[in-house]
């Protein structure tokens, strides 16, 4: 039996994560878990893009501050692929606010603020597809063999 289809999800290391020099640590956690980096770029996100990305929050009181914060400095934009990537990423990130997030999660280990929470991750496969299309153009999310896949997903056991 082959390994089930992989999901691809969007992760943003927000301006506070970039500004605090946590990009390498955050990326390493995703890679150590077994997620494959299939897209990566550093970008200063513009207001128009952010308004499309966070459009569902437009009526909420925190929306203007969120757009201002997210456009205040560069972010790292990641496309990560793996089995159940959306839920794996959300688990690694931890609860939204660092003060509430469990130790061992990105937000639990590096965050305290209710305003700055270091990372964004898609909340569903449908959101991931929409968000990836906003942040990556054609040819920017790559498909290539993951050399250690057999060790991550126990392919031999799946085939027996």
Which of the residues are catalytic?
Answer: 120
* C-alpha count within 13 angstroms, C-beta hemisphere, residue 42: 9
Alpha-carbon gap, residue 155 to 146, rounded angstroms: 12
**Considering only CA atoms, which of 79, 81, 72, 112 is closest in space to residue 95?**
112
Alpha-carbon gap, residue 138 to 103, rounded angstroms: 37
**Per DSSP, what are the bridge partners of residue 119?**
13
Residues found in the chain: 160
- The structure tokens 């839920």 sit at 87
**Considering only CA atoms, which of 15, 44, 49 is closest in space to residue 135?**
49
């Amino acid at each position: 039996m082959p390994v089930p289809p992989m999901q691809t999800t969007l992760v943003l290391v927000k301006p506070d994560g970039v500004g605090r020099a946590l990009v390498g640590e955050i990326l390493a956690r995703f890679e150590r878990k077994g997620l494959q980096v299939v897209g990566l770029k550093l970008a200063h996100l513009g207001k128009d893009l952010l308004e499309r990305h966070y459009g569902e929050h437009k009526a909420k009181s925190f929306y203007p501050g969120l757009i201002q914060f997210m456009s205040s400095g560069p972010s790292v934009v990641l496309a990560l692929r793996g089995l159940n990537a959306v839920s794996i990423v959300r688990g690694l990130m931890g609860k939204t606010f660092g003060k509430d997030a469990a130790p061992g999660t990105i937000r639990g280990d590096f965050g305290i603020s209710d305003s700055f929470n270091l990372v964004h991750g898609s909340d569903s496969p449908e959101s991931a597809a929409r968000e990836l299309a906003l942040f990556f153009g054609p040819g920017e999310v790559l498909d290539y063999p993951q050399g250690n896949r057999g060790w991550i997903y126990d392919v031999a056991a799946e085939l027996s």
